[in-house]
Chains A and B, each alone.
Chain A
Amino acid sequence: MHDLLLEILRQTAIHTGYTLVCVAVGFVVGVSLGIGLSRLPRLSRYLLPLLSILNTVPGIVFIGMLVIWIGMQPATVIIALSIYAMFPVLKNTVTGLNGVDEQYKEAARGCGMNQVQSLLQVELPLAMPTIIGGLRLSTVYTVSWAVLAAMIGQHGLGDFVYRGVSSNNNELILQGAIPAALLALLLGGLVDLLQRHVVPRGLRKGGGDR
């Protein structure tokens, strides 16, 4: 019993590690690309639908393809999951930035802010609720996708699930599924907490006067 608990904790730690790394990478890349795309409306009109299509490729297929290319190693998992984690953040960043009311951008320009200042001081803070919404989605998704790591022998809570499925052992499946669900709840809660810290007070009451 003690051993089992230890094993569950160990796999949960690995699982959490994958999730945090991939979400962090996905967030940084997603926000950066999102900022870029929001400045290039013509490109984003073609690129965003294309990315949505890619997004629908099942993770299992994508990881399988990466395995052929770079083999069974943690990097495969991290690359694949990071890309998936990036999609919601990217999409919400573009939506959030494009949704910033013209009056604020004009006021920022009129005050003499350059592009970077306007982005950092006005546009990103105003888009932050939407961006964090994307982060929340991608965090919860990544917890569930990280189960796939076990498929290519890279451990995580998926280990229990795959072993359980192949040996038709429901108990084993639940050993993986329950901690994964709890982890998703916990991390989602952490993002909500973060939301409260990074969203300025003036925006919180139903988006202020936006």
Chain B
Amino acid sequence: MLRFEQVNLSYGDQKILDNISFQVEDGQFAVFIGPSGCGKTTTLKMINRLIQPDSGHIYLDEKDIATVDRYELRRHIGYVIQQIGLFPNMTVAQNICVVPKLLKWPKDQCEQTVRQLLDMVGLPYEQYAHKYPSEMSGGQQQRIGILRALAASPPVVLMDEPFSALDPMTRRSLQLEMKNLQQKLNKTIIFVTHDMDEALDLADVIIFMDHGQIVQIAPPEEMLDNPATDQVRAFLGMHHSGPSPADLTVSHFMRTGIVTVNQNRGINECVSRMQHHNVDTLLVVDEYRHYQGTVSIADIRLTGHVVKTIGPLVRNTTPVVHTGDNAKECFDQLISSGFPYLVVLNDDQTVAGIVTKTSMASAMAEQLWG
């Protein structure tokens, strides 16, 4: 059993952890989640004493970890990090055996362990044991990272966003594998993530943190049914109930910071601005920054020699939408219009941004994977 009792930590004036108390039962899969900077990773790193609290106590199996030798403590707690951190100078087998070697296990027992563990995740010993990390894919590397954490069969394993650097497919299969492993081996897992889907899938209990405080501790179902605060609801909502994709507006997905040019400007300035920003079209505005239309390099090339300013070349054919418009309708319009982008205007007719097919793709990806 893992228990935090009134743990505090500050860096200077900044309160990192504010009187944290909680408890995780043996064999539980506990997932810490919250916005970045909420203290979840700090909390995790206190368990193996990578970070020391200013005050308070942390008990592992009723023993205050501050009284345990910190190297000895870490050797009995598995640790998996986001960057994987397999030692590139060691083979897979050597990486897995780092902790058993530190614990001075006999050689054949180490060997035995490597075989067993590789077998468990379906990586044949003959094929993988003597490979180096650089010869493997990211997903395979993190599998080995997990095995390294499990090698000395620690009762507790800490995982700090272990899958967030992996592609969605690999992440999914590793999540399933992890859940299986945990149930098979009956480990206590302390898992940090910022991905609510991952938390909901894996956790026996979710611990939601914000500003160094625990906002809610609950099993996934209970958290879905009864989010303690609006913030928790928002976190759940991004992935589940809450605002459905159909309610999203253009302003969520448009590209901002678009280059505009005043209609009184000269041809040369316009061309050099296009060159500088590497675009072939500029949005034209008047002196009140109201949108007037677009000017393209093709038009400038065709008739640019007869006019002085870009005013006469401005076209007004590109479809225009407003920031409050429904995102899905805008995407439909983008597809059917055949234009490469739509111009998005604020209510006062100033330019807010543009919507391209790329912004559409990323919006859809966000809905799918969060």
Contacts and interface: CB of A to CB of B under 8 A. Distances in A.
Given A106-B81, A111-B75, A112-B75, A117 B132 contact: no
Given A106-B83, A121-B98, A202-B88, 9 more contacts: A103-B81, A107-B86, A110-B85, A117-B102, A122-B89, A126-B89, A202-B133, A202-B134, A205-B134
B90 A200 contact: yes
A205 B88 CA distance: 11
Contact of B89 (A110, A111, A117, A125): A125
Contact of A109 (B50, B87, B148): B50
B72 interface: yes
Nearest to B99: A111
Contacts of B90: 200, 202
B334 interface: no
Contacts of A121: 87, 98
A112 B88 contact: no
Given A200-B89, A209-B88, A112 B102 contact: yes
Given A110-B50, A110-B74, A202-B134, A103 B89 contact: no
Interface residues of A, number: 25
Q: How large is the interface on B (under 10, 10 to 19, 20 to 34, 35 or more residues)?
A: 20 to 34
A4 B309 CA distance: 87
Interface in B83-113: 83-91, 98-99, 102
A107 B149 CA distance: 10
Interface of B: 48, 50, 71-76, 79, 81, 83-91, 98-99, 102, 132-135, 148, 158
A96 to B, nearest CB: 13
7 contacts: A106-B81, A108-B87, A111-B98, A112-B76, A113-B98, A113-B102, A122-B87
A49 interface: no
Contacts of B91: 202
A177 B24 CA distance: 74
A203 interface: yes
| Shortest 4 CB-CB contacts between residues of A and residues of B | A202-B132, A107-B85, A112-B75, A208-B134
Contacts of A200: 88-90, 132
A114 B71 contact: yes
A159 to B, nearest CB: 44
Nearest to A117: B102
Contacts of B72: 112
A210 interface: yes
Nearest to A105: B85
Nearest to A122: B87
B87 A107 contact: yes
Interface in A75-105: 101, 103-104
Interface string A124-160: 0110000000000000000000000000000000000
Contacts of A122: 87, 89
A101 B88 CA distance: 11
Nearest to A205: B134
Which of A107, A112, A209 has the largest number of chain B CB atoms within 10 A?
Answer: A112
A111 B148 contact: yes
Given A111-B148, A112-B99, A205-B134, A104 B74 contact: no
B85 A104 contact: yes
A117 B90 CA distance: 14
Nearest to A206: B134
A111 B102 CA distance: 9
Nearest to A114: B71
Contacts of A202: 88-91, 132-135
A103 B73 CA distance: 20
Contacts of A209: 88, 133-134
Contacts of B87: 104, 107-108, 121-122, 125-126
Contacts of B75: 111-112
A107 B89 CA distance: 13
B88 A208 contact: yes
Contact of B133 (A112, A113, A114, A208): A208
A201 interface: yes
A62 to B, nearest CB: 37
Contacts of B99: 111-112
